[in-house]
């Protein structure tokens, strides 16, 4: 749909990030640890998309999100380990 009905520069990557974010949000709601890995990939692709459109500040924001993702993943993993131990 994006290819046909929009002027998106990279429609397949754009739709990947949108649908990936929907799936990752669902995983967060279900407390699935691997959601952080999904978010990492989605945000890394988003950085590429924003850099390709010269949106440097937005790309920097998503780079900050990558740092927060690593912190969140470690925190969730430690918390899940404590519950099982």
**Interval 11-54: pLDDT, tens:** 889 889 999 999 999 999 999 999 999 999 999 999 999 999 99
pTM score, whole prediction: 0.86
Q: Virtual CA dihedral for 60, 52, 3, 16, nearest 10 degrees?
A: -40
Can you read off the two tokens belonging to residue 33? 């640890």
């Amino acid at each position: 749909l994006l290819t046909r009905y929009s002027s998106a520069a990279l429609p397949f990557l754009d739709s990947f990030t949108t649908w990936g974010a929907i799936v990752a949000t669902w995983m967060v709601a279900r407390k699935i640890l691997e959601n952080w890995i999904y978010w990492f990939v989605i945000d890394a692709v988003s950085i590429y998309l924003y850099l390709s459109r010269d949106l440097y500040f937005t790309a920097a924001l998503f780079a900050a999100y990558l740092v927060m993702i690593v912190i969140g993943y470690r925190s969730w993993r430690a918390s899940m380990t404590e519950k099982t131990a």
